[in-house]
Structure 1
Amino acid sequence: MKSVLYITANPKREEESNSLRVGRHLIETIQALHEDSKIEEIHVYQQTVPLIDGTFLKARDQLASGKDFHELLPDEQDIVRKVHRQTDQFIAADVYVFAYPLWNFGVPPMLKAYVDTIKIARKTFRYTPDGPIGLLSGKTAILIQSSGDVYSHGPLHEYEHGSCYLKSVLSFIGIDKIETVYMEGMDKDVEQRDIKRRQAFEQVDRIANNLSFQLYPCGADTAE
């Protein structure tokens, strides 16, 4: 059995969101084609995502210096458990699907908070004398990103800190198979919105059909 973790980051209802509609279509298609897959969902605007705060940072530094977990204060233990619960759930999955909009050139804030719980030293990466090494090799990530304008190329490319940011983090922790589905210019050309959404549906259909848990190489986008 392969495990798929579906992470959504939009407070809108699913039918009101381009990225969530395409994400749901992908998940339902994976379920239909790969019946033995286990699918879990994280809705970062519907459930509590622990924040990396001063208490966590203090606890992290104490643990890094050799202090035992049970020597931490109760509130320090609590936040470490909450963060690591998210980390462990992420580590257990084989395939990750992120569905989110591009807001103010970046990912939604609650998605950033979630990403902070999966980039954890000694769990998803480790430091070595030759530099950091990711620990999650052999896994696949699919990014579904919608935006009002076009950012993946052209004059606004330098402001694209959504998929670029996620690719950087995911590659850093060892995920070497990443594919991105872009729906761009969704507000710029309303007449083309349905066409672009349909193209995204077709693209995720191909992804689901090709999903042998050995997808495209990192950075090989097939957006239309």
Structure 2
Amino acid sequence: MATVLYITAHPNDERASYSMAVGKEFIAAYREAKPQDEIVHLDLYKVDIPHIDTDVFSGWGKLASGTEFSALSEEEKRKVGRLGELVDQFVAADKYVFVNPMWNFSFPPLMKAYIDSICVAGKTFKYTAEGPVGLLKDKKLFHIQANGGVYSEGPAADIESGHRYLNIIAGFFGIPSVEKLFVEGMAAMPDQADTIKAKAIEKAKEAAARF
């Protein structure tokens, strides 16, 4: 049995979001293909994701110097402890599905905060004499992103940074398999939006069955 961490970064649900609609169908198809697997939904708009601030740096510094966790301030314990929970949950999963819209050529800020929480030396990567080495070499990642325009090809592909950044992070973690599905062009071609969505859902179902 595998554990799938389904990570969504959109304030709306599938009724108002193309990415969430396609993501929901992906997970439904995956669940049908592999009913024995556990799927854990992490809605980044509904969970606590501490930002790395002065409390976090202070808490980390104290722990690094040998201070017991119980001796940290209440805010330090809350934030540092929660960050630890997030990275442990990520490491424990076998597969990851990220779902988000493209905002201003990237993803929503909460997704960056989440990625910051899981970039932890000794957990998702380690430092060596030859440089950093990823520790998640047996994992898989699938990325679903909705773009109002077309960013998978042509000149606009050069300014899309959401998937490219996530792909860099996955490589940093050592994740060998990264797939993507762009749901795109709905704003540029509103008369074709429903067709674009339907085609993306079919592709998502096909991808889920082999994921």
TM-score, length basis structure 2: 0.94
1:49 deviates by: 1.6
Name the structure 1 match of 2:100.
Answer: 100
Instruction: Answer yes or no: is 1:81 the counterpart of 2:53.
Output: no
Q: Deviations over 1:149-205 (max 9, x none)?
A: 122221222211110011111111111110000111110001221222122112112
Query: Separation in 2 of the partners of 1:96 and 1:64?
Result: 30
Query: Separation in 2 of the partners of 1:120 and 1:193?
Result: 40
Q: Structure 1 stretch 41-50 or stretch 18-27: which is displaced more?
A: 41-50
Q: Deviations over 1:72-120 (max 9, x none)?
A: 3332222111001011111111111111000001110111111111111
Query: Separation in 1 of the partners of 2:99 and 2:47?
Result: 16
Structure 2: 5+ residue stretches without partners = none
Name the structure 2 match of 1:37.
Answer: 37
Question: Which structure exhibits the higher relative contact order, with contacts defined as CA atoms closer than 8 Å and separated by 6 or more residues?
Answer: 2
- Structure 1 residues 139 and 167: alpha-carbon distance in aligned structure 2, compared to 1, 3 A threshold: same
- Structure 1 residues 54 and 86: alpha-carbon distance in aligned structure 2, compared to 1, 3 A threshold: same
TM-score, length basis structure 1: 0.89
1:68 deviates by: 4.2
Question: What SS is found at the alignment partner of 2:136?
Answer: coil
After TM superposition, the runs of 4+ consecutive aligned structure 1 residues lying more than 4 A away are: 65-68
Query: Separation in 2 of the partners of 1:210 and 1:203?
Result: 11
Name the structure 1 match of 2:117.
Answer: 117
Name the structure 2 match of 1:166.
Answer: 166
Letter matched to residue 114 of structure 2: Y
Aligned-residue sequence identity (percent) comes to 39
Question: What SS is found at the alignment partner of 2:39?
Answer: strand
Q: Would you say the 8 A contact 2:181–2:204 is kept in 1? A: yes
Query: Separation in 2 of the partners of 1:55 and 1:121?
Result: 19
Letter matched to residue 135 of structure 2: L
Query: Separation in 2 of the partners of 1:153 and 1:66?
Result: 51
Q: Structure 1 stretch 151-160 or stretch 17-26: which is displaced more?
A: 151-160
Name the structure 2 match of 1:217.
Answer: none
Question: What SS is found at the alignment partner of 1:127?
Answer: strand
Structure 1: 5+ residue stretches without partners = 212-224
TM-align CA RMSD: 1.5
- Structure 1 residues 128 and 64: alpha-carbon distance in aligned structure 2, compared to 1, 3 A threshold: farther
Name the structure 1 match of 2:52.
Answer: 52
Q: Structure 1 stretch 146-155 or stretch 57-66: which is displaced more?
A: 57-66
1:13 deviates by: 2.6
Query: Separation in 2 of the partners of 1:181 and 1:59?
Result: 39
Query: Separation in 1 of the partners of 2:27 and 2:3?
Result: 12
Query: Separation in 2 of the partners of 1:121 and 1:137?
Result: 15
Name the structure 1 match of 2:192.
Answer: 192
Query: Separation in 2 of the partners of 1:126 and 1:74?
Result: 29
Query: Separation in 2 of the partners of 1:201 and 1:14?
Result: 12
